[in-house]
Amino acid sequence: TRATLVVLDTLLAPESLDVSENPARWRPGMRVKVRIPNSSGTYVNHPQGYLYILRDPELPKDGFITLELGCWLLWGGTTAPEGDASAISYGTDEPSSDVATRLLEAADIPSANISLSTWPYSLAVPIPNESGSYPAQAADLAYSNDWRYLYQNSAGIVRDRRLSLAAGLPRASSRP
């Protein structure tokens, strides 16, 4: 999930929108709780749970700042990976879902925010990261395990689902 949030400055603002005066509030990685109106006009939590500031916002212009937000998977992909985080020992079968969990943890996604199902295939050799980030590598691994995809649910937990390829069903159904 990726979003852009425009925060307006008012005289009643509880704190400064100026990034240089309030860097702790507006730094990348800061968690943002987004509430949106439902069909009856009641404000509810965003369906993807908490989102995170992905990049440093620019200094306020015309009384507002624009924040680029994303879920854990996007936040984890904002830094380039260093080395092999799969931790696979040659010749020792590792469940693919365990490897994907380690990749997500290497992207600074807390273990408590990762809950993957058991995937059908195992790996016995390290895999090169040609995806550009650990979350992208984990997503590629999920897809290679019977067409699974990764997502963040409303509680902020990274989970997986199988794509449904049955005729008449949406491609990304909610079937586990």
Q: What is the pLDDT of residues 140-152, one digit of tens each?
A: 999 999 899 999 8
Token pair in block for residue 156: 């902020």
Q: How far is CA 92 from CA 89, 139, 144, in A?
A: 6, 22, 19
Pairing of strands 51-53, 43-45: unpaired
The predicted-structure confidence for 158-169, as pLDDT tens digits, reads as follows 999 998 777 665
Q: Are the C-beta atoms of 44 and 64 separated by less than 8 Å?
A: no
Q: Are the C-beta atoms of 40 and 13 separated by less than 8 Å?
A: no
Q: Are the C-beta atoms of 142 and 101 separated by less than 8 Å?
A: no
Per DSSP, the three-state class of 162 is strand
The b/e string for 74-84 (b: 16+ C-beta within 10 A; e otherwise) is bbbbbeebeee
What's the CA gap between 94 and 124, in Å, rounded? Answer: 6
Q: Which residues of the chain have pLDDT under 70?
A: 49, 167-176
Helix orientation angle between 134-143 and 96-106, rounded to the nearest 10 degrees: 160
Give the pLDDT score at 176.
Answer: 41
Give the pLDDT score at 4.
Answer: 86
Please tell me the pTM assigned to this model: 0.76
Give the pLDDT score at 174.
Answer: 45
Give the pLDDT score at 175.
Answer: 42
